[in-house]
Amino acid sequence: MKQLMDVAIIGGGPAGLSAALVLGRARKSVIVIDEERPRNRVTKESHGFLTRDGIKPSEFRQIARQQISVYPTVLFENDTAIEVTGTDGEFIITTAKGLTFGAKKLLFAVGMKDLPLDMEGLTDVYGKSAFVCPYCDGWEMRDRKLVIITNGDRALHFAKTIAGWTSQYAICTDGPDEMTDEQREELKRHDIPVFASKIQRIEAENGNVQQVVLEDGSIIACEGIFFVPKLAIGSNLPQALGCEMTEAGAVIVDDFGKTNVPGVYSAGDAASQKYQVVAAASMGSMAAVSINSELLGEAWSARG
Ligand SMILES: Cc1cc2nc3c(=O)[nH]c(=O)nc-3n(C[C@H](O)[C@H](O)[C@H](O)COP(=O)(O)OP(=O)(O)OC[C@H]3O[C@@H](n4cnc5c(N)ncnc54)[C@H](O)[C@@H]3O)c2cc1C
């Protein structure tokens, strides 16, 4: 271990980078450890972040790193944090490359990761013509013929939401329909077709969905897909350190990113279900303010 840093940020996506910027400007020594596997790496363009609409996710991070490099107390390590020990005031982080870093405070900005997509053909179109969030990619899919892969209570909600972008869509439940009779009736009243067979495969050309083939032999021609992915937190380290988690697998934090473990913070997708770059950046910024205020308070007290 070289030196005790003020803050170790694990994860260098919008949440971690935003925190690094605020802490660098607050003259705190910071190490950002990032393995560079952000959730949106499958997509060509990221939308909805003011001044950066349509930017490539890797370019977004590159600009952020470039701007942060002005602040000399922020260091970056491209590596995976594999173990965290210690307590408030002295955490020790060990990385896959065998490095160790010490830090007074810890910020987990580890994001969420998609679990393997268990549907033939989906990986080929994910981020190109199959998406997860209408607010991120609905505009690009506007007025197109879409298949929405969803089931149960979510189906009606998704159907209502996607109606803001296109009127041509069908629901595919990918297996037995788990909706209530009322929900089924409501979709029928709105002329939204529901296909309840399991999906056999998705056929595409150059990443553009052409059709969804069902096990019962039905074929649904379409130009795009929205689906609900299965997610897990980007790293198990917060749990291993004793952070309380929600049922959905996110770290429980207060409005300033503070967890139940003293000196440990979390921000971004790892600590919310907002799943937007701008929201992640905002949470990172707020956590950084709170961490800095805690460090300043401790330094003030130590002086008498
Ligand atoms: C297909 C797709 C398209 C999207 N499009 C948009 C869009 O258009 N607009 C929008 O606002 N949002 C979009 N999103 C959502 C957006 O990607 C996330 O909300 C945002 O990336 C969250 O930022 P984050 O910093 O919390 O996590 P991430 O960006 O996921 O970053 C987390 C980082 O932590 C790293 N990490 C994890 N564990 C460790 C570890 N142990 N050690 C070191 N590093 C670690 C990861 O490798 C990663 O680099 C999209 C998501 C997907 C899946």
CATH number at residue 11: 3.50.50.60
- For residues 11 and 109, membership in a common domain is answered with yes
Task: Please state, in angstroms and rounded to a whole number, the distance separating the CA atoms of residues 65 and 69.
Answer: 6
Task: Please state, in angstroms and rounded to a whole number, the distance separating the CA atoms of residues 55 and 45.
Answer: 5
- For residues 99 and 248, membership in a common domain is answered with yes
Shortest CA distance to 42 belongs to which of 107, 122, 105, 119? 122
Residue 50 CA to ligand 1 center (angstroms) comes to: 17
Residue 249 CA to ligand 1 center (angstroms) comes to: 15
Residue 117's pLDDT is what? 85
Q: What is the atom index within ligand 1 of the atom nearest the CA of 271?
A: 26
Contact between 288 and 266 (Cβ < 8 Å): no
* Ranges of the chain with pLDDT below 70: 1-2
Q: What is the atom index within ligand 1 of the atom nearest the CA of 47?
A: 8
- For residues 223 and 245, membership in a common domain is answered with no
Residue 301 CA to ligand 1 center (angstroms) comes to: 37
Name residue 165's amino acid: W
For 205, other C-beta atoms within 10 Å of its C-beta total 10
Q: What is the atom index within ligand 1 of the atom nearest the CA of 36?
A: 49
User: Is residue 282 within 6 Å of ligand 1 at its C-beta?
Assistant: no
What's the pLDDT tens digit per position in 109-161? 999 999 988 899 999 999 999 999 999 999 999 999 999 999 999 999 999 99
User: Is residue 77 within 6 Å of ligand 1 at its C-beta?
Assistant: no
Residue 12 CA to ligand 1 center (angstroms) comes to: 9
Domain containing 266: what range?
Answer: 4-114+230-302
- For residues 97 and 236, membership in a common domain is answered with yes
- Tally of domains in the chain: 2
Residue 116's pLDDT is what? 85
- For residues 234 and 95, membership in a common domain is answered with yes
CA distances from 199 to 132, 203, 215, 216 (A): 17, 11, 6, 9
Of 227, 253, 287, the residue that ends a domain is 227
Task: Please state, in angstroms and rounded to a whole number, the distance separating the CA atoms of residues 282 and 275.
Answer: 12
- For residues 10 and 91, membership in a common domain is answered with yes
- For residues 287 and 209, membership in a common domain is answered with no
Task: Please state, in angstroms and rounded to a whole number, the distance separating the CA atoms of residues 40 and 38.
Answer: 6
- For residues 140 and 180, membership in a common domain is answered with yes
Q: Which helix (H) or strand (E) holds 201?
A: strand 199-205
Q: Which helix (H) or strand (E) holds 287?
A: helix 277-302
- For residues 109 and 242, membership in a common domain is answered with yes
- Phi, psi torsion values for 194, nearest 5 degrees: -120, 125
User: Is residue 269 within 6 Å of ligand 1 at its C-beta?
Assistant: yes
- Number of DSSP helices (H) and strands (E) in the chain, helices first: 8, 17
Contact between 113 and 234 (Cβ < 8 Å): yes
User: Is residue 47 within 6 Å of ligand 1 at its C-beta?
Assistant: yes
- For residues 149 and 219, membership in a common domain is answered with yes
- For residues 69 and 56, membership in a common domain is answered with yes
Q: Which residue out of 269, 274, 282, 285 has the highest number of ligand 1 atoms within 8 Å of its CB and is therefore the one to mutate?
A: 269
Q: Where are the alpha helices (DSSP H) in 122-180?
A: 122-125, 134-137, 153-162
User: Is residue 46 within 6 Å of ligand 1 at its C-beta?
Assistant: yes
Residue 127 CA to ligand 1 center (angstroms) comes to: 13
Of 194, 227, 260, the residue that ends a domain is 227
Residue 109 CA to ligand 1 center (angstroms) comes to: 9
- For residues 207 and 235, membership in a common domain is answered with no
